[in-house]
Structure 1
Amino acid sequence: MTSLAIVSHHAVDLLRFRGSLIRDLAVSGVRVRCLAPDYDASTRAALAALGAEPVDYRLQRTGMNPVRDLAAIAGLVRILRRLAPDVVFAFSTKPMVYGTLAAWLAGVPRRVAMVEGAGYVFTSSGGRPGWRRRALRFAVEALYRVALGRAHRVVFLNPDDRREFIERGLAASAKSVLLGGIGVDLQAWRVAPPVTEPMSFLLVGRLLREKGIVEYAAAARRVKARHPQVRFILLGGLDSNPGGLDRPQVQAWVDEGLLEWPGHVPVQPWMARASVFVLPSYREGVPLSTQEAMAMGRPVITTDVPGCRETVQDGLNGYLVPARDADALAGAMLRFVDDPGRVVSMGSASRRLAEICFDVRKINQKLTAWLLA
């Protein structure tokens, strides 16, 4: 029996982003162990129900502390030596770097790393980055170079990230492959009846500046000045990432009447009540939330940046706008407010594109071949 260890930074992310892959691997006879630093009883039970074995390890998700990080790598080495998997699959920045290095040190025969997005240090801040950000980028690039050099395969979600990593010498072209999105379960995320009254825009994501949330609030202010009945919904929790927004800022938008903020809640019920999905991000891998919106037949407004542009054919299933441009974002929103019929026609196009490009069954087959080859 082939044994595979998946290294993650969040137990819930294993369920949300890797659940179907874990289930498919387990059904095919692969022994799957899932490493995460924050299991609770419910996530353990959910992983077990998929056919996987939850395994605890220690990791501080954000920040760089050499002592803690070396301890995390050492702990992973001990765990992987004990588990002795045939393959280690690591994703998200810290688990990808530390998990791949630990797998190499532990003598794991096959190591696969997934770059889900270039991340905070590669995302333009809109001006010249400060010395702290430049120093962090230098350190992260050095870690990428060392870790990805010890991977047998490096999986990218969009071509821009793959090209940049190869050009910077962070990943070898011969080892690098393009997945094109992790995919969505088209049976679980079915088309919901279109909503046009009231017109409702929805943004889903961690509360980071890089997600374009500031621009979303500014665009909401512009649209509501003309159409006060339009709803703007924000789903997501606060985040300790350096680009994280604080609670008073988000609450100020709520108090002003611009945004509704239910917090970190299940996405699907809110998506069903939304008219248009919006993600004005500065950079992504290929966002799962947008794939889910497309599967449910929702038009998309997003930015013309790496990762986001892969989800929208401008004018067909939504609109591409420049990053950090609240005026352009508001203009795209007003197209739907002024012509609600676009919600229906563009939503249907989104579903068709999801079926062609983001069917998780097809994507899992491709990823499984790379993992087990």
Structure 2
Amino acid sequence: MGATGAVRARGMSGAGGSDDVVVFYPAGKDLAGWARDYGAGARPDAWPYGLNKLAHHVSSVKARNLPRDTAMQGALRRLMRATPPALWRGRGPVGLVWDENSVDRLAAVPALRSRFSGVVWLTDQLATKEPSWLAERRSMLRRMDGLWVLSSAQVGPLQHFIGEDGPRVHHVVFGVDADFFHAAPPPETPLLVSVGGDRDRDAATLFRALARVRHERPDVEIIIQTTSREEPPAGVTLVPHLSHGELRQLYQRASVCVIATRPNTHVSGMTVGLESMATGRPLIITETPGMADYFGGTDGAQMVAPSDADALAAAALRLLNDPTQRQRRGQAARAHVEGGFTTDHLGARVAAVVSV
């Protein structure tokens, strides 16, 4: 398959079984380096997104890189676009990619038995992207045998976009490595943490909330990691990019984690939310469509309306002012993740999709 950086899931049989699966990652993803870091305890899971956990549910799974862009690969993709999907099927393994940004490259991998892709960003791009871009993306997604999304709010819009006669859209609930992001004792000094900088984080609302927290509880340390260029409130510490190990340490030092996002359908913030909860820290997060898939029905998380800085601050202050409640909710947070939101659960859900 012209792929590099193969990594074999431990304890699995050799290739060739009827359930063989290959997880394809972008050409530039250093899979061998990721595995080394995992072995050294510096990264969660042996593969990105914890897809090594598929090994518990299929006969054999490998991780490989997609081919790098070359003139030959470009010609191959042009040929793929001009020919029916059936001509690209074979008796090889099942192939999958994590998101839609790699779907055209997966479609051009020859001889795969079937192809599956996650879709992360597209449902929030339908109103903004050019029609020609959307048509190309739709064409590639329709060449897949199945798709999955991480939010229930994405299922309907994506199925409508690709057509009812297109591949089925599955809802797959995400999970995190609860062994890497393990629980820690409550901190002795109060610390509020906010992490993340994707396109739908709401720095303006977050900063208004943090300013109120600083005003009412100046003794509380506040640390944020963000890509926003807005000036944070006085007394708030801004940190640059964090490694996975540094991120875990920050969560474990925290009293509470706070996340503010703009309305979106791809549940921006849910990864950080689950990671922080896995360490036993209560979460406060914006309630956007699909967020209840992850943080509903638990005392470990509280959701507030979008753009409501007062509600965000009030929820944080209640926890900061009540150590007993904070500890109880932190324990509930850890139990919530263990009960259905780990990469073990994620592996089972993705395996169910690709086995259809």
**Which ranges of structure 1 fall in alignment gaps of 5 or more residues?**
36-54, 60-66, 123-132, 239-244
Mapped contact 2:222–2:235 kept (Cα < 8 A): no
SS of residue paired to 2:232? helix
Output the amino acid matched with 2:189: E
Q: Within 1, Cα distance between the matches of 2:319 and 2:166?
A: 42
Mapped contact 2:258–2:283 kept (Cα < 8 A): yes
Change (3 A) 1:172 1:159: farther
Higher relative contact order (CA 8 A, sep 6+): 2
Q: 2:96 — aligned with what? A: 89
Residues 317-363 of structure 1 deviation map (CA, whole Å, 9 limit, x = unaligned): 22111112222211221221232322211111111211222132233
Mapped contact 2:278–2:338 kept (Cα < 8 A): yes
Q: How many residue pairs align between the two structures? A: 313
Mapped contact 1:58–1:75 kept (Cα < 8 A): no
Change (3 A) 1:5 1:190: closer
Q: Within 2, Cα distance between the matches of 1:315 and 1:362?
A: 18
Q: Within 1, Cα distance between the matches of 2:303 and 2:57?
A: 39
Using structure 1 for the length normalisation, give the TM-score.
Answer: 0.71
Change (3 A) 1:230 1:170: farther
After TM superposition, the structure 1 = structure 2 runs for residues 18-37 of structure 1, keeping only pairs within 5 Å, are 18=48, 20-22=50-52, 24-25=54-55, 30=60, 32-35=62-65
Q: 1:226 — aligned with what? A: 216
Q: 2:68 — aligned with what? A: 57
Q: 1:109 — aligned with what? A: 113
Q: Within 2, Cα distance between the matches of 1:324 and 1:75?
A: 47
Using structure 2 for the length normalisation, give the TM-score.
Answer: 0.74
Q: 2:281 — aligned with what? A: 298
SS of residue paired to 1:259? strand
Output the amino acid matched with 2:105: G
Q: Within 2, Cα distance between the matches of 1:75 and 1:332?
A: 55
Q: 1:45 — aligned with what? A: none
Q: Within 2, Cα distance between the matches of 1:115 and 1:72?
A: 23
Mapped contact 1:304–1:320 kept (Cα < 8 A): yes
Output the amino acid matched with 1:360: T
SS of residue paired to 1:210? coil
Q: Within 1, Cα distance between the matches of 2:281 and 2:217?
A: 21
User: Between the two proteins, what is the percent identity of the paired residues?
Assistant: 20
Residues 197-227 of structure 1 deviation map (CA, whole Å, 9 limit, x = unaligned): 22x222222x245112232122111211221
Q: Within 1, Cα distance between the matches of 2:295 and 2:74?
A: 41
After TM superposition, the structure 1 = structure 2 runs for residues 129-208 of structure 1, keeping only pairs within 5 Å, are 134=128, 136=129, 138-169=131-162, 175-181=168-174, 183-195=175-187, 197-198=189-190, 200-205=191-196, 207-208=197-198
Q: Within 2, Cα distance between the matches of 1:276 and 1:146?
A: 44
Q: Within 2, Cα distance between the matches of 1:146 and 1:271?
A: 41
Residues 113-149 of structure 1 deviation map (CA, whole Å, 9 limit, x = unaligned): 1123546525xxxxxxxxxx73x16445323421221
Output the amino acid matched with 2:145: H
Output the amino acid matched with 1:92: D
Change (3 A) 1:187 1:73: same
Output the amino acid matched with 1:191: A
After TM superposition, the structure 1 = structure 2 runs for residues 35-46 of structure 1, keeping only pairs within 5 Å, are 35=65
Change (3 A) 1:75 1:217: farther
Change (3 A) 1:222 1:19: closer
Output the amino acid matched with 1:312: F
Residues 21-54 of structure 1 deviation map (CA, whole Å, 9 limit, x = unaligned): 236539966352422xxxxxxxxxxxxxxxxxxx
Stretches of 4+ aligned residues off by more than 4 angstroms:
12-17, 26-29, 69-77, 117-120, 169-174
Choose between structure 1 and 2: higher helix proportion. 1
Output the amino acid matched with 1:102: A
SS of residue paired to 2:312? helix
Output the amino acid matched with 1:188: F
Q: Within 1, Cα distance between the matches of 2:80 and 2:209?
A: 45
